[in-house]
Structure 1
Amino acid sequence: MEKDIDYSNSKLTPEKALQMLRSEGLDVTIEQAEEILHFLRIIANIAVLKYLNKTE
């Protein structure tokens, strides 16, 4: 999956995610950590949009 994502303004970089996942015993590659972060951002955006739609 080809994505050009700029992590420069993100607090959680793929490298940090990789360290966190490995500290929990998950052996993942940097590419897998990027995919996990991408998925989590999608889920977070959906949750925020659902919340905002409920409050209107």
Structure 2
Amino acid sequence: MQLLDTAIELRFVIKPQPVLSLSSRRYQKLTRLTEEILKLIEISQITKTEISIKH
């Protein structure tokens, strides 16, 4: 759950600022990482839901 909070915070911190002091390549890398984290979290939550349904 803490990972999810972190990912959401990252997304809100990174996205609303079009101009960052970071280089654009670094900005894109951060954004991509955030998206990957969110995808992984979604997958793990779906898996958890499926597991609870089965039991």
Q: TM (normalized to structure 1)?
A: 0.54
Q: CA RMSD in A?
A: 2.3
Q: 1:12-50: per-residue Cα shift (whole Å, max 9, x none)?
A: xxxx84x6273xxxx201111100011001100110000
Q: List alignment gaps of at least 5 residues for structure 1.
A: 1-15
Pairing partner for 2:47 from 31, 45, 53: 53
Pairing partner for 2:33 from 30, 39, 42: 39
Q: Which structure is richer in relative contact order (CA contacts within 8 A, separation 6 or more)?
A: 2
Q: Which one has the largest radius of gyration?
A: 2
Higher helix share: 2
| Percent of aligned pairs sharing the same letter | 11
Q: List alignment gaps of at least 5 residues for structure 2.
A: 1-13, 51-55
Matched residue type, 2:31:
L
Structure 1 outlier segments of 4+, above 3 Å: none
